[in-house]
Structure 1
Amino acid sequence: MIEFILPLFGRFHPILVHLPIGILAFGIILVFLSEKGTSKHLDSIRLAFLLGGIFAVISSISGFLQYQYEGFTWETVQFHFFFGWATAIASFWLFYEVNKANSNPKNLKLKAAGLFGLMLFTGHLGGNITHGEEYLIEVLPPEMQSLIGYEIEPEKGLVLPEQGWEELAYYDEVVQPILNQNCKSCHNPKNLKGELDLTSFDKMLEGGEDGSILTAGNAKESALYSRLVLPKEDEDHMPPEEKRQPEKEAIELIRAWIDLGATKSAKLGESNIDTETLEPFFHRVEKPFYPELAVDPATEESLSNLKAEGFFAEKVSETSNWLMISCVNFQSFSDQDWSKLGAVKNQIAYLDMTGTQVTDAILDSLNTLPNLTVLKLNQTGISGDNLQVLNENKNLKHLYLNETKVDLSSIQALKEHPLLEKVFAFDTPLAEKEVSEKFKFILETGNYQLPALPTDTIVY
């Protein structure tokens, strides 16, 4: 009946360890507040070092019991254990030094500082055990990590290909990466929480202190799954509430693997998992919106001249040399003003000529902008008769022709454009009729109508 006492006392270690830390820190502060050769605060300093030493001993004993009953390896805790006892001994030694003196002993501040350093290092080792050796380091910028000699590679977790995922080895390429990211820090050969190692299939089959964690074919009866779906506030929920929690889709993948038989040979495609569950883990390479080319930055003189003419001219981002040029404050811009953009023609990726005086003649000039990606010709005299010349702007992705005279034949001239993604033609002759023809790009003509609701006819 009383067998639970020692394991319970061991589990109090994370609580008890804060007592000596607080008491000794208080005593050390009093040391530095005291003047040399005086007895001020001496009684309080004696008591702080005595109580700090006593509670350091109690904490060390509870820590040893936690090691014995919680599955930690000796290699993991040994230095923390030895330095914990060293802290206790140093506390008693300082108590002895202060107790035999009638005033603050010589070099007491230096000795107290040494105790403080010892206490900090011991606490750091304890933090490494509970949170991992990289707990403090991982939040530092990569440059600072390198400076102090660390190169941390975080667990990447689950990444799936969009094609061929059905042939993936379910355990090795799906389940194990999930466990590595969410469970490995507490269940590994050095930190055997619950005497459970989740770093390999064979170790998982061995189970932990409560026996097997897998019941093949029945996820609900398997601790590996059932603990994941417990409420976070439940003490049996895993991972602990303060730790990183796996995505619900990752938990569903573990459930399906266990229900499939929890074997090492199963393929992901053999399960009842749908692509919606796999969606968050698909590997996608995000293509940059603007061209992947290196261009020289526009000169400050060129930008100043543009702004002096009335153009809005800025970089599209702080890390890019591509320019955004707008005529929002230069509504008198016309075909004849095109030459004013010549100095930055290679850098222009975004050009907005909305509301200006340009005509179809400007389209031939646009060929000189090799990296043009977004073009806005809203509210201009563009009729669209010569719109096919924009096929030469190979990087063009978004084209705005709202409130112009473009029609269906104008847009058809762009259907072979290599990169065009969206064309906007609101309030145009094209928008007045229903377009059934399909294009490779998205054609937006507006005139959207919401379906009528029964409540729309209610008179209050």
Structure 2
Amino acid sequence: MIDFILPLFGRFHPILVHLPIGFLVFGVILIFWFGKKYSIYSPIIQLAFLLGGISAGLASISGFLQYQNEGYGWETVKFHLILGILTTIFSFGLWYHLKRAASTPAQLKIKGAGLIMIITITGHLGGNITHGDDYFTEVLPPELQALLGGEVSINEPLELPADNWEEVAFYTGAVQPILDQNCKSCHNPKKLKGELDLSSFKGIQKGGEDGSVLTSKDAEESSLFTRMILPEDHDDHMPPKDKRQPRKEEIELIKAWIESGASESRKLGESNISEDMVEPFFKKIEKPFYPEVEVGKVPQDSISKLKDRGFFAEVIKEGSSFLNISCINFPAFTNSNWNLLTSAQEQIVYLDLTGTAITDAIFESISTLPNLTVLKLNKTSIDGSQLDKLSSNKNLKLLYLNETKVAMDKLDKLQGHPALEKVFVYNTPAAGSGETSQFSFHLETGNLSLPPLPTDTIVY
């Protein structure tokens, strides 16, 4: 009936272990703070070490009982336990030494510093048992982890190749990366929370203290899956709500793996997995919007001169040499003013000439901008007769011709442009010309309409 007492006392170890730390650190602080007045404060210092020794002894006993009853391996706890006992002995020894001393003991500060070092190492080893060896270092940058001698383990999000995803091993190539990123920090050989290791196929098959977590071909009977789909505030939800949560697509992939037989070697293509299920994990190669070329920076005084002339001029982002030039405050800009921009023709990637007094002859000058990516010619008098000149702007992606005189037939001059993605022609002759699908780029005409809804006719 009373067999529960010793295991219960063992479980008090995480609470008791903080008492000696407080008492002993307090005692050492007094040694350093009141060293010259030791005779006055010696009773308090002695009491701190006495209470520290008693609580350290109780913590050591409870730690030993927890080791015996909670299934910890000796190799895991031995140094922590030995140093805990050593802390107890050192504390009582220092108390006895101070009690017998008639005056300030020799090298008292050195002895106090030595005790702090033992406490620090003991606490660090205890933290490793509870939280894992990398508890403090796992949040550090990989380079700093390596410098400190740690094992650098970067759990990257799951990525699958779009071209041959069928050849990827379902478990090692898809399931284990998901578990590594979401579950491995608490369930690994060094930190077996719930006696469960989710860092390997063998560990998953073995299960934890509550038994198996995997039932082949039955996800609803596999706690590996069911605990992930519980409400986050549920006591059994995993991972805990304060931890990173797997995406819905990741959980569905784990479910599909279980229902396909939870094989270690079967490939995705052999498991009746649809492409729609794995598509969210395809590697996405993002192409930079602006050109990837090195160009010299325009001197700051040159940018200041542009601003003084009426241009809005700034770099597109910090550290870049590319410029955004706008005439929003320079509506009097004409073709003849182009010479003001020639000093920055390599750097201009965004040019807004909206509302200026330019004509189609400006296209000859615009064609000299090798890195131009966005061009806005809205609300100008151009008719598009020289749009073919833009074929020289190999990086042009977006062209705005809204509220101009450009007709549909003039847009043919842009057909086959090497980079052009979208052309905007709101409120132009081209916008009302009907068919827009014949171009190699997407044409935005602005002729959009919403279907009528029954509620549109209700009078309130």
Task: Provide, for residues 19-77 of structure 1, a one-character-per-residue CA deviation record: whole Å limited to 9, x for no partner.
Answer: 33333333334444435234444443333322222322333333344444555444443
The answer for the alignment partner of 1:89 in structure 2 is: 89
Q: In 2, Cα distance between the equivalents of 1:196 and 1:209?
A: 7
Matches within 5 A, 1:128-277: 128-141=128-141, 144-145=144-145, 148=148, 152-271=152-271, 273-277=273-277
Q: Which amino acid in 1 is paired with 2:423?
A: V
Task: Provide, for residues 363-382 of structure 1, a one-character-per-residue CA deviation record: whole Å limited to 9, x for no partner.
Answer: 11111111111111112222
Q: Which amino acid in 1 is paired with 2:196?
A: L
Name the stretch that deviates more: 187-196 or 47-56. 187-196
> Taking structure 1 as reference, are residues 360 and 367 closer, same or farther at Cα in structure 2, changes over 3 Å only?
same
Q: Which amino acid in 2 is paired with 1:60?
A: S
Task: Provide, for residues 383-434 of structure 1, a one-character-per-residue CA deviation record: whole Å limited to 9, x for no partner.
Answer: 1111121122110111111221112122232231121122222222222344
Q: Which amino acid in 1 is paired with 2:36?
A: K
Matches within 5 A, 1:47-446: 47-70=47-70, 72-101=72-101, 105-141=105-141, 144-145=144-145, 148=148, 152-271=152-271, 273-446=273-446
Q: Which amino acid in 2 is paired with 1:288?
A: P
Q: In 2, Cα distance between the equivalents of 1:235 and 1:45?
A: 45
Task: Provide, for residues 138-160 of structure 1, a one-character-per-residue CA deviation record: whole Å limited to 9, x for no partner.
Answer: 43456655665567341224211
> Taking structure 1 as reference, are residues 67 and 186 closer, same or farther at Cα in structure 2, changes over 3 Å only?
farther
Q: In 2, Cα distance between the equivalents of 1:23 and 1:231?
A: 42
Q: Which amino acid in 2 is paired with 1:249?
A: E
Give the C-alpha shift of residue 111 in structure 1.
Answer: 3.1
Give the C-alpha shift of residue 135 in structure 1.
Answer: 3.1
Q: In 2, Cα distance between the equivalents of 1:13 and 1:207?
A: 26
Give the C-alpha shift of residue 272 in structure 1.
Answer: 5.7
Q: In 2, Cα distance between the equivalents of 1:181 and 1:3?
A: 40
Superposition RMSD on alpha carbons, in Å? 2.9
Q: Residue 328 of structure 2 aligns to a residue in which SS?
A: coil
Q: Residue 423 of structure 2 aligns to a residue in which SS?
A: strand
Q: In 1, Cα distance between the equivalents of 2:272 and 2:283?
A: 21
Does the 8 A contact of 1:73 with 1:190 survive in 2? Answer: no
Q: In 2, Cα distance between the equivalents of 1:181 and 1:337?
A: 57
Report the identity percentage.
59
Q: In 2, Cα distance between the equivalents of 1:151 and 1:394?
A: 47
Q: In 2, Cα distance between the equivalents of 1:218 and 1:309?
A: 73
Q: Which amino acid in 1 is paired with 2:297?
A: P
Task: Provide, for residues 258-279 of structure 1, a one-character-per-residue CA deviation record: whole Å limited to 9, x for no partner.
Answer: 1111122433234465545434
Q: Which amino acid in 2 is paired with 1:307?
A: K
The answer for the alignment partner of 1:15 in structure 2 is: 15
Q: In 2, Cα distance between the equivalents of 1:274 and 1:383?
A: 50
Q: In 2, Cα distance between the equivalents of 1:364 and 1:60?
A: 86
> Taking structure 1 as reference, are residues 301 and 321 closer, same or farther at Cα in structure 2, changes over 3 Å only?
same
Does the 8 A contact of 2:334 with 2:357 survive in 1? Answer: yes
Name the stretch that deviates more: 142-151 or 238-247. 142-151
Q: In 2, Cα distance between the equivalents of 1:89 and 1:19?
A: 16
Does the 8 A contact of 2:132 with 2:191 survive in 1? Answer: no
> Taking structure 1 as reference, are residues 304 and 36 closer, same or farther at Cα in structure 2, changes over 3 Å only?
same
Task: Provide, for residues 155-213 of structure 1, a one-character-per-residue CA deviation record: whole Å limited to 9, x for no partner.
Answer: 22421122322332211211122222223333333333444333332343233344332
Q: Which amino acid in 2 is paired with 1:319?
A: G
Q: Residue 375 of structure 1 aligns to a residue in which SS?
A: strand
Q: Which amino acid in 2 is paired with 1:316?
A: I
Q: Give the aligned length.
A: 460
Give the C-alpha shift of residue 348 in structure 1.
Answer: 1.2
Name the stretch that deviates more: 288-297 or 156-165. 156-165
Q: Which amino acid in 1 is paired with 2:201?
A: F
When the two structures are superposed, what TM-score results if normalisation uses the length of structure 2?
0.89
